[in-house]
């Protein structure tokens, strides 16, 4: 009986185990020589099946695996392992794997240096583990996290689509297209599923891995989806579908431009995912995989459903914002004046308000004595509530200005009104979200007097006008700033006057940052003399063009005004004696002046009656000195000033009374009348429209 030596049995067993390892291990095993040529490789791994060994043994590793990543860098790292002996562990690389169809897989590579018993370096051992599915799952998690972080940052449906395709390409798809129902873009409610045929969709985003990808339709194109196609079917049953893209698929003939783009891009799989929200259709996401990218599978389809749900919610939030913005902008435009008042001494223009700040407002108000009030303000808050509050405050200012009160007194009364509105808001039911919004407002109110060439101004909050003088110097008049309207501050409001010579340009804005920028930066306002004889609207446009991105006038309420002098021949004034005989003198002077102004006979006759009554009342009940003044501007103004403080009252005389009809007669002949108080007494005024201007309306 022959006995084998134990050492020989061990060697044979070890050799058998090594052989089994290289023929049965699912882990890719490679032995490389010092020239990185393959010495041995296991044949059990899917990547090496059906590959003859004579095509592998002795060949460089780069020819065995077609590495997608940087091949030279990978070889350089392997050579460093040979040189240093420091292993390279768990390096993930992508490589093309032969098959039907070919695919790109992920492999986790570990490289170890091999040494002989004497210590000589004899080569490398390389293990390669197929981690394709693990990497795909990790990529899916990263895609989902990226979409949740990046999509929906802006309340804009088009931007949301762009954010989505940027997050998906190339991490999840090679081509991504987002189409949104056109009505949803405008803020309308999304239609119920199934999507009615003929509903237009807007292509809001497109992205592809290729630098020059073929497009069926440009971004921004609005069109109806042809049917039947996988896209129309997905918007009918609201189910995502993975569709292999075969060249002879019958549905491709329904949409030739899209079919041509698909074939040109070599796309092999489509994943059509509807954007839905509560059984309504928001839009559609179309994802394509191209070339060697693996086709979409069931896991991809489930992930796409989650991505679409998040995107649809973000688009719906943007839709709601657009609708609220549209409603607020509509309310704001209806509440604001369309065109500024026309004045010979003050030319004004408005910069367009887009509704981005619906609580901002502007106004120009015609006052007696050819004066004009300029108002700019801003209410805290946003949306429709801010627009409604703005309308309330603008109406209050209009009503208060009719009393011809000074700017500081007007703001004090407006402050009381705003405080009352804030108290009403604070008493709303606990569940009303408006209750938690503080009501406060900034406002600047200025009165231009062309007879003195001055502005009287008062401010509440941080607003102040910008004054550009004819010599080009730019400054911000320093009006005494009172508390914000509606706050609890008890500081009083005060007003000051400043001169604005002819040719001066004033800019009133509801945004202090905009005012500061226009004051400090070089721009058209610093060369305002160039605009003295040009349309004011050109100056408004130049201001907008000069603003940097992110600081637009469209978010603020803006008035631009240019001061003009009132022609001297349009004003006539006379001092009168406190004697009844002065009534006849006043009528004679008025008749002569109106004849020189070529005023129509009807207006001249009525004016003589008004002057008779007003002068008579001033002589009887007022204190000298008496002054009569006529102003020929947008209307004919008649003013009688005296030093008395007694307020006149409109009376309805009885049949047997011999007096008491003066103000009543004046009020019937004029379209407006009132009393204005000043430091030197009071002024009774009337305004009459010219007959020719009445007829032209």
pLDDT digits 0-9 by tens, 311-337: 999 999 999 988 888 888 778 788 888
Give the lowest-confidence range in 128-142, 278-292, 436-450, 520-534: 520-534
Q: What is the DSSP string of 119-178?
A: S-EEEEEEEEEE-HHHHHHHHHHHHHHHHHHHTTSSS-HHHHHHHHHHHHTTTT-SEEEE
Cα–Cα distance, 395 to 363 (Å, whole number): 10
549-554 mean pLDDT: 68
Overall average pLDDT of the 517-543 stretch: 73
Which pLDDT belongs to residue 353? 63
pLDDT score recorded for residue 75: 84
Q: Decide which of 286 and 79 is more confident.
A: 286
Helices 132-150 & 157-168, crossing angle to 10 degrees?
160
Confidence of residue 696 (pLDDT cuts 50, 70, 90): very low
The mean per-residue pLDDT over the stretch 670-690 comes to: 85
Could you tell me the pTM of the whole model? 0.70
Q: Is the CB of residue 326 less than 8 Å from the CB of residue 319? A: no
Quick check: 129 and 99 in contact, CB under 8 A?
A: no
What are the CB-based long-range contacts (under 8 Å, 24+) for 548-554? 551/513, 551/514, 551/517, 553/351, 553/509, 553/514, 554/351, 554/352, 554/353, 554/354, 554/356
Give the span between the Cα atoms of 537 and 554, in whole angstroms.
15
The share of the chain scoring above pLDDT 90, in percent, equals 27
Alpha-helical segments (H) within 193-246? 230-237
Distance CA 280, CA 383 (A): 26
What letter does residue 659 receive in the DSSP assignment?
S
pLDDT, mean of residues 137-147: 86
Among 55-59, 112-116, 203-207, 665-669, which range has the highest average pLDDT?
203-207
Q: Parallel, antiparallel, or unpaired for β 466-468 and 474-475?
A: antiparallel
Closest of 259, 247, 246, 251 to residue 234, by C-alpha? 251
- Reported as a pLDDT band with limits 50, 70 and 90, residue 694 is very low
Residue 622 pLDDT = 86
The pLDDT confidence band at residue 651, using thresholds 50, 70 and 90, is low
Q: What is the pLDDT of residue 658?
A: 44
- Band of pLDDT at residue 657, cut at 50, 70 and 90: very low
In this predicted structure, which of 8-12, 249-253, 582-586, 628-632 has the lowest mean pLDDT? 8-12
Residue partners of 279: CB distance under 8 A and separation at least 6: 192, 193, 238
User: Looking at residue 364, what is its pLDDT?
Assistant: 92
Q: What does the pLDDT average to over 469-498?
A: 81
Q: What is the pLDDT of residue 12?
A: 75
pLDDT of residue 2 exceeding 80:
no
Token pair for 256: 């030739």
Residue 470 has which token pair?
């004819």
pLDDT digits (tens, 9 = 90+) for 288-297: 998 878 889 8
CA–CA dist 151, 184 (Å, integer): 17
Give the pLDDT of residue 654: 47
Contact 464, 414 (CB under 8 A): no
Query: pLDDT band for position 410 (50/70/90)?
Result: very high
Q: Which of 412, 433, 437, 447 is nearest to 359 (CA)?
A: 437
At 58 the three-state DSSP class reads coil
- The band of 52, judged by pLDDT with boundaries at 50, 70 and 90, is low
With CA atoms as reference, report the closest residue to 375 among 458, 492, 498, 478. Answer: 458
Whole-angstrom Cα distance, residue 338 to residue 502? Answer: 26
Question: Which range has the worst mean pLDDT, 166-175, 534-543, 658-667?
Answer: 658-667
* Chain segment 339-381, per-residue pLDDT in tens: 887 677 888 988 866 666 788 899 999 898 889 999 999 998 8
Range 68-95 burial, b when 16+ CB lie within 10 A, else e = eeeeeebeeebeebbeeeeebeeeebeb
Token representation of residue 458: 């008062």
pLDDT higher than threshold 90 for residue 280: yes
C-alpha angle 665/667/669, rounded to 5°? 70
Integer angstrom CA distances of residue 475 from 142, 399, 505: 54, 31, 11
- Quote the CA–CA distance of 161 and 204 in Å, as a whole number: 6
pLDDT one-digit tens code per residue, 93-136:
877 776 666 667 788 888 888 888 888 888 888 888 888 788 78
pLDDT for residue 96: 74
In the chain, the domains with their CATH numbers are 24-130 (3.30.450.20), 136-324 (3.30.450.40), 337-563 (3.60.40.10), 568-696 (3.30.565.10)
What integer pLDDT is reported at residue 56 of this predicted model? 74
d(CA 93, CA 141) in angstroms, rounded, equals 19
What burial letters (b/e) apply to 555-584, b meaning 16+ CB within 10 Å? bbbbbbbbbbebeeeebbeeebeeeeebbe
Give the DSSP H or E segment for 663: helix 662-669
Using the predicted structure, report yes or no on whether residue 695 has a pLDDT greater than 50.
no
Q: Which residues have a Cβ under 8 Å from the Cβ of 470 and sit 6 or more positions away?
A: 501, 502, 503, 504, 528, 529, 532
């Amino acid at each position: 009986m022959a006995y084998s030596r134990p050492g020989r049995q061990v060697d044979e067993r070890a050799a058998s185990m090594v052989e089994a390892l290289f023929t049965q291990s699912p882990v890719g095993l490679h032995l490389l020589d010092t020239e990185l040529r393959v010495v041995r490789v296991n044949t059990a791994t899917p990547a090496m099946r059906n590959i003859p060994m004579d095509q592998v043994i002795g060949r460089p590793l780069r020819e065995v695996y077609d590495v997608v990543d940087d091949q030279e860098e990978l070889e350089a790292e392997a050579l460093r392992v040979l040189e240093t002996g420091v292993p390279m562990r768990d390096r993930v690389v992508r490589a093309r794997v032969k098959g039907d169809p070919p695919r790109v897989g992920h492999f986790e590579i570990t490289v170890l240096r091999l040494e002989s018993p004497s210590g000589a370096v004899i080569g490398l051992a390389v293990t390669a583990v197929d981690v394709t599915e693990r990497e795909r799952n990790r990529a899916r998690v990263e895609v989902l996290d990226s979409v949740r972080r990046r999509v929906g940052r802006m309340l804009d449906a088009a931007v949301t689509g762009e954010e989505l395709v940027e997050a998906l390409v190339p991490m999840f798809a090679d081509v991504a297209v987002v189409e949104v129902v056109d009505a949803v873009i405008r803020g309308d409610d999304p239609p119920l599923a199934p999507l009615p045929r003929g509903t237009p969709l807007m292509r809001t985003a497109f992205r592809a891995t290729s630098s020059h990808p073929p497009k069926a339709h440009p971004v921004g194109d609005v069109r109806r989806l042809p049917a039947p196609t996988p896209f129309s079917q997905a918007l009918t049953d609201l189910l995502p579908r993975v569709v292999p893209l075969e060249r002879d698929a019958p549905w491709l003939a329904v949409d030739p431009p899209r079919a041509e783009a698909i074939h040109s891009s070599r796309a092999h799989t489509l994943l059509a995912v509807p954007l839905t929200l509560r059984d309504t259709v928001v839009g559609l996401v179309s994802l394509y995989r191209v070339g060697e990218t693996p086709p979409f599978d069931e896991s991809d389809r489930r992930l796409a459903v989650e991505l679409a749900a998040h995107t649809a919610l973000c688009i719906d939030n943007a839709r709601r914002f657009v609708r609220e913005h549209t409603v607020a902008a509509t309310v704001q435009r209806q509440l604001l004046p369309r065109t500024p008042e026309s004045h010979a001494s003050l030319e004004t223009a408005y910069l367009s308000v887009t509704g981005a700040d619906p609580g901002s407002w502007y106004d120009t108000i015609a006052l007696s004595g050819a004066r004009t009030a300029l108002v700019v303000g801003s209410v805290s808050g946003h949306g429709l509530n801010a627009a409604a509050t703005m309308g309330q405050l603008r109406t209050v200012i209009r009503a208060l200005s009719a009393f011809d009160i000074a700017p500081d007194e007007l703001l004090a009364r407006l402050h009381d009104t705003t405080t009352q509105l804030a108290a009403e808001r604070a008493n709303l039911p606990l569940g009303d979200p408006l209750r938690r919004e503080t009501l406060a407002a900034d406002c600047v109110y200025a009165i231009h007097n062309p007879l003195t060439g001055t502005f009287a101004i008062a401010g509440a909050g941080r607003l102040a006008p910008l004054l550009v003088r004819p010599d080009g110097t730019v400054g911000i008049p320093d009006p005494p700033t009172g508390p914000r309207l509606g706050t609890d501050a008890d500081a009083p409001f005060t007003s000051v006057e400043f001169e604005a010579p002819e040719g001066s340009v004033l800019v009133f804005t509801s945004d202090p940052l905009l005012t500061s920028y226009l004051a400090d930066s070089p721009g058209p306002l610093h060369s305002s003399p160039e605009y003295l004889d040009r349309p004011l609207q050109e100056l408004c446009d130049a201001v907008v063009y000069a603003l940097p991105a992110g600081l637009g006038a469209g978010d603020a309420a803006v008035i631009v005004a240019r001061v003009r002098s009132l022609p001297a021949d349009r004003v006539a004034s006379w001092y009168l004696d406190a004697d009844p005989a002065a009534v006849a003198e006043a009528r004679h002077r008025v008749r002569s002046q109106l004849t020189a102004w070529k005023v129509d006979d009807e207006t001249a006759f009525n004016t003589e009656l008004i002057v008779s009554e007003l002068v008579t009342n001033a002589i009887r009940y007022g204190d000298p000195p008496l002054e009569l003044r006529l102003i020929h501007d947008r209307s004919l103004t008649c003013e009688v000033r005296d030093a008395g403080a007694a307020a006149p009252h409109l009376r309805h005389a009885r049949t047997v009374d011999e007096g008491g009809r003066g103000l009543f007669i004046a009020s019937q002949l004029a379209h407006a009348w009132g009393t204005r108080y000043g430091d030197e007494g009071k002024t009774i005024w009337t305004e009459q429209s010219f007959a020719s201007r009445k007829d032209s309306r």
